[in-house]
Amino acid sequence: MESSSPALSLGLTLAAIVIGLTGFSVYIAFGPPAKDLADPFEDHED
């Protein structure tokens, strides 16, 4: 059985990290934790 190349493993690892960070960012921006975020533009309306 032939093992996969190190470049493929590195590429898949980096892709998984990027997808994971993107998903986490979307969760923080739009999920339940977003209720605790303050909008600085609404705080300082003139």
35 domain residue, yes or no: yes
17 domain residue, yes or no: yes
| Type of residue numbered 31 | G
Number of domains within the chain: 1
Which domain range does residue 25 map to? 7-43
**Which residues are within 8 A (CB) of 34 and not within 5 positions of it... i.e. 6 or more apart?**
28
pLDDT tens by residue, 19-46: 999 999 999 888 887 777 777 777 676 5
14 domain residue, yes or no: yes
12 domain residue, yes or no: yes
Residue 4: its pLDDT value, please?
76
21 domain residue, yes or no: yes
